[in-house]
């Protein structure tokens, strides 16, 4: 702009005021140049004309000197601010992709070794590549919800403009909300796909830190939504179908945006979209958060990329609200049902657009082509509808979301407390922390051993319980990583039904369980958390052994103390003392020091008192819950070899007969039912469970006894019993001088005790 700097001027001549202030193309500040020439001699001071040029900021992407007229999208594409990045983005590895990186590193190392040594490693490379492809397929076909969230937020994931320039023949970006601002977080423009015009609008994230700051990380302000609304009216007026791309964590929620009417702008968009008379297709290409996504998402068709997510609140925000910890975000992501598959089941999304293995960033062009095909397919369907049917279609899509029933009374119990109790959050403890705790408990146990004290049971119990929870969490993670979660859940439900109905375990169900267990054990070593699981399991086994040993020693010491106390009580009784003293006096009076030299009468008295005390001791031991087995001098040592062989053969025959009876179908079913009842009853069964178990044991015992008695084994047993008795009598008794009343009592016997023993091994 040009200006005149001067002081007071004296004009001479006949120039009028209108001449002085008349504008002219050759004038400066409204004064004609000829007037300046006339007044030159009459000026008191020199007149200076100064021209100042305003500095204009150079455009970031100027028009090139030689624009290519054949560029895709037309010559106007050169004016677009969105240019290819000069440098390729750095590869980013997500946490669950680490096993793939390890295999890829091995492939690179083998190739490097082949180049350095000149040897042929093609077989090894092919094997590793096949392993990599299989691992990639297994990983990306069994993704958890939180893993899909991480993929949707991947820094290298293609953005809205990446897809638009890939799918359109021509595209021109339109700017501004006509109220003084152009929000870079929402991009709008007109483009063509296969000769058909569309109005495109969508959230635009940055491809690097600089672009993310410029685009406000894809979080729009009210200006962005007003720009989108302006383009909606424009498209509705000209009859352009609308395609929106959703990729935002949510609307920008700063103080300034709230002051400028963030909620009002979103609400206006929602109302406007339901009244547009052109087809609308929305595509979630990344993450769609809350009202910020819905403001351009009220469409006839909502499509989602395979690894995209759509939510009312992010998993981290939900976990912080419900569980007071963002660490519970995996659980929140699972409960929110935010993935494409789950939203299609809920009829919120209308279709899933496939992605390549590894996510959309693995092959952006292929992903864009799938989006283009989906847009053409849906638009062909919507173009068949007239305006009224189109509006009704859009309304009914949102009316059909969710469901309710009227007139059904609510259970009074649910009215009191409808919220379920929160499940505990399984947050993994670092291995180093667990090592420290285990080492501390070990030191306490060693100190207790050195001082001959009992080991501290409370810290040991707490550590074992903590390790059990950690191992359970690791097993759950391994099951999810191997893609067996659904199958485990199905089997668990089937087992619950069988237990609830007291049915026998079906062979097919048993086979399923064995197959799943074998598959899990085979694939466990490939789970990402296998090393942590193995290490924690080893620590748990080590501490469990220490706990069992401590408990065993504690129980043994307590039992020993009780037994000694009971024995002392028996021996301190007056009647027992009198009998023992009387026998001692008789033995002393006889003057004999050896037991074999005593007469038969005195021997009989000693044996009688001994038996009496033994029976009392047995009763005491049985009252303490101990199994008592009387042992005397082995009969087999006094028997001839022929009789011993006969006893062994008969025992083998009896055992074979019992096993054959047990393996019969009817008895086997009863044993399986007994196992089921014992498992259900647990360590502390109630009275009903005890009665069931006792009844089943009795039935099994009777069945085995009846089957054995029906054979000729009983006759063989009686004959052999008589033969053993004769042999013992002829040899002079067990001790060579003193005969027992029941010489075959301690050898072998065929009674129900053998049946009970056989049954207990199966029960």
0.75 exceeded by the pTM?
no
* pLDDT surpasses 50 at 37: no
- In Å, how far from its chain's centre is CA 207? 31
Contact 284, 355 (CB under 8 A): no
The mean predicted confidence, pLDDT, of the chain is 78
| pLDDT tens profile 47-58 | 565 655 555 455
Measured distance CA(574)–CA(493) in Å, rounded: 65
What three-state secondary structure class fits 268?
Answer: helix
Q: What is the number of other CB atoms lying within 10 angstroms of the CB of residue 212? A: 14
* pLDDT surpasses 70 at 750: no
Residues 6 or more apart in contact with residue 542 via CB below 8 angstroms = 438
Contact 266, 290 (CB under 8 A): no
Q: Please report how the helices 431-450 and 457-481 are oriented relative to each other, as an axis angle in degrees rounded to 10.
A: 150
Token pair recorded at residue 460: 């040991």
Token pair recorded at residue 656: 């074979």
Token pair recorded at residue 182: 């152009």
Residues 6 or more apart in contact with residue 758 via CB below 8 angstroms = 658, 662, 704
What three-state secondary structure class fits 2?
Answer: strand
Banded model confidence at residue 38, pLDDT cuts 50, 70, 90? very low
User: What pLDDT does 331 receive?
Assistant: 92
User: What pLDDT does 82 receive?
Assistant: 81
Work out the percent of the chain whose per-residue pLDDT is above 70: 77
Measured distance CA(675)–CA(693) in Å, rounded: 9
Residues 6 or more apart in contact with residue 255 via CB below 8 angstroms = none
Contact 163, 371 (CB under 8 A): yes
What three-state secondary structure class fits 626?
Answer: coil
User: What pLDDT does 748 receive?
Assistant: 38
* pLDDT surpasses 50 at 32: no
Size (the chain), residues: 763
Token pair recorded at residue 165: 């320039």
Banded model confidence at residue 632, pLDDT cuts 50, 70, 90? low
Contact 313, 262 (CB under 8 A): no
Average the pLDDT over each of 423-432, 464-473, 665-674, 737-746 and give the range with the smallest value.
737-746
| pLDDT tens profile 346-377 | 999 999 999 999 899 999 999 999 999 999 99
| pLDDT tens profile 70-121 | 777 777 777 777 878 878 888 888 888 888 888 888 888 888 888 888 888 8
Burial class (CB within 10 angstroms; exposed 0-12, middle 13-18, buried 19+) of 321: exposed
What three-state secondary structure class fits 44?
Answer: coil
Average the pLDDT over each of 257-266, 276-285, 337-346, 408-417 and give the range with the smallest value.
408-417
Contact 134, 179 (CB under 8 A): no
CA dihedral 686, 688, 693, 696 (to 10 degrees): 180
Contacts 24+ apart (CB under 8 A), 289-292: 289/248, 289/249, 289/250, 289/313, 289/314, 290/250, 290/251, 291/250, 291/251, 291/263, 291/266, 292/203, 292/219, 292/220, 292/248, 292/249, 292/250, 292/251, 292/252, 292/266
* pLDDT surpasses 80 at 624: no
| pLDDT tens profile 658-669 | 777 777 667 777
CA dihedral 340, 344, 346, 349 (to 10 degrees): 80
Token pair recorded at residue 613: 């005390």
Mean pLDDT for 603-631 is 75
Contact 371, 283 (CB under 8 A): yes
Cα 306–169–176 angle (5° rounding)?
A: 85
Contact 76, 172 (CB under 8 A): yes
User: What pLDDT does 635 receive?
Assistant: 52
Contact 156, 361 (CB under 8 A): yes
DSSP for residue 9: -
- In Å, how far from its chain's centre is CA 82? 40
Contact 352, 306 (CB under 8 A): yes
């Amino acid at each position: 702009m040009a200006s005149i700097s001067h002081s007071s001027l004296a004009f001479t001549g006949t120039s009028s005021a209108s001449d002085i202030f008349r504008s002219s193309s050759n004038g400066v500040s409204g004064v004609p140049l000829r007037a300046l020439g006339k007044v030159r001699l009459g000026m008191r001071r020199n007149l200076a004309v100064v021209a100042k040029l305003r500095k204009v900021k150079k455009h970031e992407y100027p028009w090139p000197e030689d624009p290519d007229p054949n560029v895709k999208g037309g010559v106007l594409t050169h004016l677009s601010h969105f240019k290819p990045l000069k440098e390729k983005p750095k590869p980013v590895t997500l946490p669950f992709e680490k096993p793939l990186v390890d295999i890829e590193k091995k492939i690179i190392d083998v190739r490097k070794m082949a180049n350095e040594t000149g040897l042929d490693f093609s077989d090894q490379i092919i094997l590793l590549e096949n392993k990599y492809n299989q691992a990639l397929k297994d990983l990306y076909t069994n993704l958890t919800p939180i893993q899909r969230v991480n993929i949707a937020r991947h820094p290298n994931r293609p953005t809205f403009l990446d897809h638009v320039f890939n799918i359109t023949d021509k595209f021109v970006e339109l700017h501004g909300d006509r109220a003084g601002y152009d929000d870079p977080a929402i991009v709008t423009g007109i483009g063509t796909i296969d000769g058909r015009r569309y109005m495109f609008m969508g959230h635009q994230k940055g491809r690097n830190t600089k672009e993310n700051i410029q685009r406000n990380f894809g979080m729009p302000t009210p200006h962005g939504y007003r720009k989108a609304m302006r383009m909606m009216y424009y498209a509705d007026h000209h009859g352009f179908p609308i395609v929106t791309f959703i990729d935002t964590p949510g609307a920008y929620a700063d103080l300034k945006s709230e002051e400028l009417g963030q909620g009002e702008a979103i609400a206006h968009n929602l109302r406007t979209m339901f009244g547009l008379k052109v087809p609308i297709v929305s595509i979630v290409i990344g993450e769609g958060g809350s009202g910020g996504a819905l403001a351009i998402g009220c469409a006839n068709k909502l499509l989602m990329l395979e690894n995209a997510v759509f939510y009312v609140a992010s998993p981290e925000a939900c976990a912080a609200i419900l569980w007071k910890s963002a660490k519970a975000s995996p659980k929140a992501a699972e409960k929110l049902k935010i993935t494409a598959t789950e939203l299609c089941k809920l009829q919120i999304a209308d279709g899933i657009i496939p992605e390549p293995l590894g996510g959309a960033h693995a092959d952006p062009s292929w992903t864009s082509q799938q989006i283009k095909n989906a847009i053409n397919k849906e638009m062909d369907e919507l173009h068949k509808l007239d305006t009224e049917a189109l509006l009704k279609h859009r309304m009914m899509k949102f009316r059909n979301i969710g469901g309710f029933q009227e007139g059904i009374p609510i259970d009074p119990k649910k009215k009191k407390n409808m919220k379920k109790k929160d499940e505990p959050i399984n947050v993994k403890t670092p291995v180093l922390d667990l090592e420290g705790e285990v080492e501390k408990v070990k030191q306490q146990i060693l100190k207790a051993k050195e001082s001959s004290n009992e080991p501290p049971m409370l810290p040991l119990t707490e550590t074992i319980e903590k390790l059990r929870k950690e191992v359970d969490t690791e097993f759950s993670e391994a099951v999810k990583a191997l893609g067996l979660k659904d199958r485990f859940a199905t089997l668990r439900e089937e087992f619950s039904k069988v237990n609830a109905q007291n049915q026998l375990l079906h062979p097919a169900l048993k086979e399923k369980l064995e197959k799943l267990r074998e598959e899990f054990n085979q694939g466990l070593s490939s789970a990402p958390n296998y090393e942590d699981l193995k290490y924690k399991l080893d620590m748990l086994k080590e501490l469990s052994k220490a706990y069992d040993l401590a408990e065993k020693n504690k129980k043994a010491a307590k039992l020993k103390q009780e037994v000694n106390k009971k024995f002392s009580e028996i021996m301190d009784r007056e009647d027992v003392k009198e009998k023992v003293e009387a026998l001692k006096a008789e033995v002393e009076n006889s003057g004999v020091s050896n037991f074999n030299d005593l007469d038969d009468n005195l021997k009989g008295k000693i044996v009688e008192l001994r038996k009496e005390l033994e029976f009392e001791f047995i009763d005491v031991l049985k009252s303490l819950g101990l199994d008592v087995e009387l042992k005397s001098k082995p009969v087999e040592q006094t028997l001839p070899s022929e009789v011993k062989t006969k006893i062994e053969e008969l025992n083998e025959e009896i055992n074979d007969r019992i096993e054959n009876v047990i393996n019969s179908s009817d008895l086997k079913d009863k044993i399986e039912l007994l196992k089921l009842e014992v498992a259900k009853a647990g360590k502390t069964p109630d009275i009903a469970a005890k009665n069931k178990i006792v009844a089943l044991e009795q039935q099994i015992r009777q069945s085995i006894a009846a089957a054995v008695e029906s054979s000729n084994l009983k006759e063989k047993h009686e004959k052999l019993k008589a033969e053993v008795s004769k042999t013992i009598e002829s040899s002079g008794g067990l001790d060579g001088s003193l005969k027992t009343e029941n010489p075959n009592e301690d050898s072998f016997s065929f009674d129900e005790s053998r049946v009970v023993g056989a049954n207990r091994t199966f029960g």
